[in-house]
Structure 1
Amino acid sequence: MAAAAPVKRQTLRRLTMVTVVAFLALAMWLQVYRDNSRAQQQMLSSLDEAAITHVELAFRGGPRTSWTRRDGAWQLDGSPGTAVDQGRLEDLVNLAAAPVASWRPASDFDIAKLGLAPPVATLRLDGTTLEFGEPAAIGQLRYARVGERIALVPLQALPRPDQARH
């Protein structure tokens, strides 16, 4: 009978260790899940940049320009064969994932005071419209509107003009 007690203790220790390891694994999984969810919520859009195939860009008071990705390369709509700065288009597409410092409802603001009526730049990515306004009074941030929400994004998160045209 004395031999049964060490076996029970050993079994109890193993069960305790398995429980602790399972708890730690669950805690790690929850942290990764929360971090991924938070990162997705804190981007300017939920678009997958690699899947975007159509880009339209207009600057305040300027014409609208559009491009379509065909066979992995960007082409200027209406002007086949015209050279396109592929890096610039990738920069435009990457604005979909611009980090957001905070979100607020558009109804909380006077849109004109943010430089969003009309916006400094309007970028449409596969039908999702991103409007960029003026720099914010605090920090190195800029206002951006997506639908009925206003985001504060890094100051440099603004489409750049085509250097060949300016």
Structure 2
Amino acid sequence: MMRRQALLNLLMLLLVGALTALVLWGPEPEAPVATPLLTDLQADRVRRIEITFAERSPVVLLRDGERWFIDNAQRWPADAERVQRILALTDAVSHARYPVAELDTAEVGLAPPRITLRLGDAVFEFGGQEPLNRYRYLRHGDAVHLVTDTVIHQLSDRPEDLVSHRLLPDDAKVVGLTLPGLSLQQGDGGAWRSIPTQPGRSQDSFNRFIEGWRYARALHVTPASGDRGESGDEVIVELGEPAQTVRFALINNDDDLVLERRDLGLRYNLAAGARERLLKLPAGGEPTQ
């Protein structure tokens, strides 16, 4: 019995020794293969985006600090999330790469390209799709790449398609709000004061109401018609840090809430129920002093 146990212990020692030797002197594991990227361009370095559809005027977006604007007379605010989805092209994986000279560029939809996208000085030309995996042919420099098609649907030749649907800037700090028949002003201590006084309304109800304006989004945004006969009352939003006054004209509409910024020439069409949420104070909470 003891000889059997000793033999078992010896076998265990030999096994441990063999495993140790394999770890110490065995072949080194293969290094992971680096995923080939389309470009080494970094998204946070891009300050200018230009989108050109065949035979159309280009749409240009410019970065100013942390915000993006459409480069037109009114400097329309661009949709930050959509801009980031466009800039995601800088992280695209190249599934295959071919020298331009080895391809029939007309056959793959690159002569001429369907869309040309410029990110800073880098140029990307979008062609057709290959039939097997539906990868997009994309020319960059002297090569044509096959990439997963996630960016092309974010591009448009209509500037209004790229406009932010937010009524106010992403980092807006509202310090005053004037509605038809009601004005709210924030004091130095952060408390809200209403004119006329709103019995039964608490500071919490004021804060919720203001937050609704801060994060309000339109269902769709269109260029303003310019017909001033459609408008009625005005909404004035006062912002702080930096100070700015934003004015909206209320467009006559029995059902939906439609607001127009005449300084930008844009009309914001909001969802059903927005009129109730944005033009009427909510009830609830302890009365404010």
Q: TM-score range by the shorter chain?
A: 0.7 to 0.9
Match of 1:59 in 2: 53
Alpha-carbon distance in 1 for matches of 2:75, 2:136: 35
Secondary structure at 1:114 match in 2: coil
Q: Are the counterparts in 1 of residues 86 and 151 from structure 2 also a CA contact under 8 Å?
A: no
Instruction: Say which of 67, 73, 78 aligns to 1:84.
Output: 78
TM-score by length of 2: 0.43
Q: 1:159 to 1:98 in 2, by over 3 A?
A: farther
Larger radius of gyration between Structure 1 and Structure 2? 2
Percent identity between matched residues is 23
After superposing on structure 2, the runs of 4+ consecutive aligned residues of structure 1 that deviate more than 6 Å are none
TM-score by length of 1: 0.72
| CA RMSD, Structure 1 to Structure 2 (Å) | 2.7
Alpha-carbon distance in 2 for matches of 1:102, 1:49: 22
Alpha-carbon distance in 1 for matches of 2:47, 2:72: 15
Instruction: Say which of 124, 145, 148 aligns to 1:151.
Output: 145
Q: Are the counterparts in 2 of residues 121 and 159 from structure 1 also a CA contact under 8 Å?
A: no
Match of 1:47 in 2: 41
- Say yes or no: does 1:95 pair with 2:118: no
Deviation at 1:72, TM superposition (A): 0.8
Alpha-carbon distance in 2 for matches of 1:97, 1:114: 23
Deviations 1:10-56 (A, max 9, x none): xxx9xx98x939x99xx57x72xx54xx22xx221111112211111
Q: What code does the residue aligned with 1:60 have?
A: A
- Say yes or no: does 1:135 pair with 2:129: yes
Structure 1 gaps, min length 5: 1-12
Q: What code does the residue aligned with 2:106 have?
A: A
Match of 1:116 in 2: 110
Indicate the larger mover: 80-89 or 153-162: 153-162
Structure 2 gaps, min length 5: 1-16, 162-221, 223-289
Q: How does 1:17-28 map to 2 (within 5 A)?
A: 20=24, 27=28
Q: Are the counterparts in 1 of residues 86 and 155 from structure 2 also a CA contact under 8 Å?
A: no
Alpha-carbon distance in 2 for matches of 1:139, 1:91: 21
Aligned residues: 141
Name which structure has the greater RCO, CA cutoff 8 Å, separation 6+. Answer: 1
Secondary structure at 2:126 match in 1: strand
Alpha-carbon distance in 1 for matches of 2:153, 2:86: 6
Deviation at 1:159, TM superposition (A): 4.9
Q: What code does the residue aligned with 2:40 have?
A: S
Q: What code does the residue aligned with 2:39 have?
A: S
Alpha-carbon distance in 2 for matches of 1:66, 1:161: 11
Q: Which has the higher helix share?
A: 1
Alpha-carbon distance in 2 for matches of 1:157, 1:43: 15
Q: Are the counterparts in 2 of residues 144 and 150 from structure 1 also a CA contact under 8 Å?
A: yes
